[in-house]
Structure 1
Amino acid sequence: MRKYNRTKEELDKIIEFVEEDFPRHHRKLEEITVNTVLTPREAIDLAKRYHQEHGLDGTVDERTESLLFDEAYTFRINPDDRENDDIRPAWRVTVDLEPNPFLFEDYTLIVSDPDKTVMGMLDANGHPVSDGNEITDEDIEYITSGEEAEKDKA
């Protein structure tokens, strides 16, 4: 692995870029600078419907003041041509989880503004959740039953 030592000027430019770019991905309603297709209420309603249809855990946060808007959400990266990444405006709707020994933090549903549909989910760390990497209640029971069996053997 090659290390790269940045000059103070290079580091300052990176920090400046991040500070300028970050707000467009986490805008509160009063900070939105582009025209939207969906209203905040419509984005929340779409997220609620998706949440119910897919039987997801938790409760959709219906407070518009907790809603965030992302003017340039990256739905898909094109590794061969980064200029052709799929980037569109999106609403970030939080889903609150009940206190639980296995699920510690909330997650976010991503509602595409121009498509008027839920296009994805972010875990508590902001990483996209894809099909197949979610832990179900049955998985948790299986994991803990194995731990209980090990304790009983000891």
Structure 2
Amino acid sequence: MEKYIRTKEELEKLIESVNKDFPRHHRKIEEIPIDVVSTPEEAIEIAKKYHQEHELDGTVNEQIESLFFDEAYTFKVDLENRENDDIRPAWRVTVDLPPNPFLFEDYTIMVSDRDKAVMGMLDPNGHPVSEGNEFTDEDIEYIMSGEDLEDDEE
């Protein structure tokens, strides 16, 4: 396979297009045009309190830059009527784990923006792990695929 070497003009044009498009995809939290109920600082404090009360491993990451805001997180799936799924905005607050040969990755505490409360946790793979969670592997597959479960069963 031959390598393609860009001309100086092509490279400058590519850099210009990336610089032009960069701000649209990389914004600071305070620049996101979404109305939120909880501030990033409140979400972190809620997660820290939950983390402490439940004596969980690791340390809550307090850096606002590490937060992720999910506009439509699925907290619960209603298999009888998909229109009744519990979907609402949420803050994803990361918990950093100390180096350990058995625990390789951090986990996430989900803070409901509207309720200002912890609604569950996600394992390192992004799967819900909260107590009493009704998610099944099929629910997770459905949420991730964007397809209708009933269509898959036929």
Would you say same fold, with TM above 0.5?
yes
CA contact (8 A) 1:60 1:94 kept: yes
* Residues 58-90 of structure 1: per-residue CA shift (max 9 Å, x gap): 000000000000000000001111111100000
Q: Which runs of 5+ in 2 are unaligned?
A: 1-26, 134-154
User: How is 1:63-82 mapped onto 2 (pairs within 5 angstroms)?
Assistant: 63-82=63-82
Q: Structure 1 residue 31: deviation in Å?
A: 5.7
What SS does the aligned partner of 1:94 have?
strand
Rounded to whole Å, the distance in 2 between the matches of 1:130 and 1:105 is 17
Structure 2 match to 1:121:
121
Q: Which runs of 5+ in 1 are unaligned?
A: 1-26, 134-154
Matched, 1:112 2:107: no
Matched, 1:62 2:49: no
Aligned residues: 107
Rounded to whole Å, the distance in 1 between the matches of 2:125 and 2:47 is 19
User: How is 1:87-102 mapped onto 2 (pairs within 5 angstroms)?
Assistant: 87-102=87-102
Q: Structure 1 residue 34: deviation in Å?
A: 2.1
User: Pairwise CA RMSD of aligned residues?
Assistant: 1.9
* Residues 124-151 of structure 1: per-residue CA shift (max 9 Å, x gap): 0000003389xxxxxxxxxxxxxxxxxx
What SS does the aligned partner of 1:50 have?
helix
Report the TM-score when normalising by structure 1.
0.65
1:119 aligned partner, one-letter code: M
1:38 aligned partner, one-letter code: S
Rounded to whole Å, the distance in 1 between the matches of 2:123 and 2:32 is 24
Rounded to whole Å, the distance in 1 between the matches of 2:103 and 2:56 is 13
Rounded to whole Å, the distance in 2 between the matches of 1:95 and 1:65 is 14
2:73 aligned partner, one-letter code: Y
Rounded to whole Å, the distance in 2 between the matches of 1:61 and 1:69 is 15
